[in-house]
Amino acid sequence: MQLETDAIDRSHYPKHIAIIMDGNGRWAKKRFLPRFMGHIAGVKAVKRVVEFCDSQEIQVLTLFAFSSENWHRPKDEVSKLMDLFVGTLGKEINRLDKKNVRLRFIGERSAFSEKMQQQMAESECRTENNTGLTLVIAANYGGHRDITLAMQEIAKQVQRGDLQPEDINEDLIAAQLSIPDLPEPDLFIRTGGEKRVSNFLLWQLAYTEFHFTDKFWPDFNTETMQGAVDDFLTRQRRFGRTSEQLENSSETN
Ligand code: IPE
Ligand code: IPE
Ligand code: MG
């Protein structure tokens, strides 16, 4: 009986959860600590959320780790964030691999140090055949940039004569963006109280359900993550249709 209930719940679960992990700095400030301590505490929250997604058989978790705009932060904070990124990846890759996690990175890597780029490529390569949770880390990622690069690629195809402008459609554009092979996010979570998208996955969030919470990212845990999923489970995703249409079609199914 219990097994049957679990199976029913899982079928409605989000396949892809995308998170803006915000509020590290304010979490630290509230404790009279340097901002960087907030980022360190944020790594622990990442581990908890990966654990949650793994145990709940979520297919994809995308985490916004560093935006293309975050370069505007003080140099010292940027450099400490880079060190934390390299250090955490180095420390965690064995555990992630053992957990059957497939790691991927989106965003422009050329801005990162050689060491970091190498580490990213190695960890992707090492985990590419894993079949568990796909963990996508957005680093130096910007939605505008993602779309711009896709447009450049499509323009080249038109220029070469491989593509006619009238053949450009949504599928073709989506195929040129980051993570074209993964389902679009079902659930978007932003911690830290701000209610904005901050240039995250602009195209892919077209029909995603949004969940905002005032909790700072370092305070995010299994319970708050479950709360976000429970909130998602109350939503009716209509994709332009009416409630009546959806209710009638579920009756006939
Ligand atoms: C998010 O927390 C982490 C990164 C952007 C790297 P913040 O550092 O933005 O924290 P707040 O918004 O200043 O509290
Ligand atoms: C968004 O958070 C980027 C990441 C979480 C990596 P920010 O804290 O940088 O967003 P804004 O600038 O306040 O919108
Ligand atoms: Mg912030």
Q: Which of 200, 218, 72, 77 is nearest to 137 (CA)?
A: 200
* SS percent in the chain: helix, strand, coil, step 5: 55, 15, 35
Question: Alpha-carbon distance 112 to 124, whole Å?
Answer: 16
Compute the distance between CA of residue 247 and CA of residue 156 in angstroms, rounded to an integer. Answer: 45
22 annotated active-site? yes
C-alpha 186/C-alpha 142 separation (Å) is 19
> What is the 202 CA–ligand 2 centroid distance (Å)?
14
Distances (CA, A) of 170 to 103, 151, 175: 27, 12, 9
pLDDT digits (tens, 9 = 90+) for 157-171: 999 999 999 999 999
9-18, 55-64, 95-104, 121-130: least confidently modelled range:
9-18
Question: Which numeric CATH code is attached to 13-142+184-235?
Answer: 3.40.1180.10
Residue 161, classed as helix, strand or coil, is coil
Q: Is the Cβ atom of 70 under 6 angstroms away from ligand 1?
A: yes
Using DSSP's 3-state secondary structure scheme, residue 205 falls into: coil
Residue ranges of domains in the chain: 13-142+184-235
pLDDT band at 249 (very low <50, low <70, confident <90, very high): confident
* 167 counts as catalytic: no
How many angstroms is it from 136 CA to the middle of ligand 3? Answer: 20
- Which protein residues touch ligand 2 with a CB less than 6 Å away? 20-22, 64-67, 69-70, 194, 196, 198
pLDDT (0 to 100) of residue 251: 64
Quote the pLDDT of residue 9: 57
Which residue of the set 54, 70, 199, 231 is catalytic?
Answer: 70
Contact (CB, 8 A) for 134 and 102: yes
Could you tell me the distance, in angstroms and rounded to a whole number, from the CA of residue 4 to the centre of ligand 3?
41
* Closest atom, ligand 1, to C-alpha of 28: 14
What are 13-37's pLDDT values in tens digits?
999 999 999 999 999 999 999 999 9
Give, as residue ranges, everything with CB less than 5 Å from ion ligand 3. Answer: 22
Q: How far apart are CA 251 and CA 245, in angstroms?
A: 10
Would you call 148 helix, strand, or coil by DSSP? helix
| 187 neighbors 17 (Cβ within 8 angstroms) | yes
User: Quick one: pLDDT at residue 10?
Assistant: 77
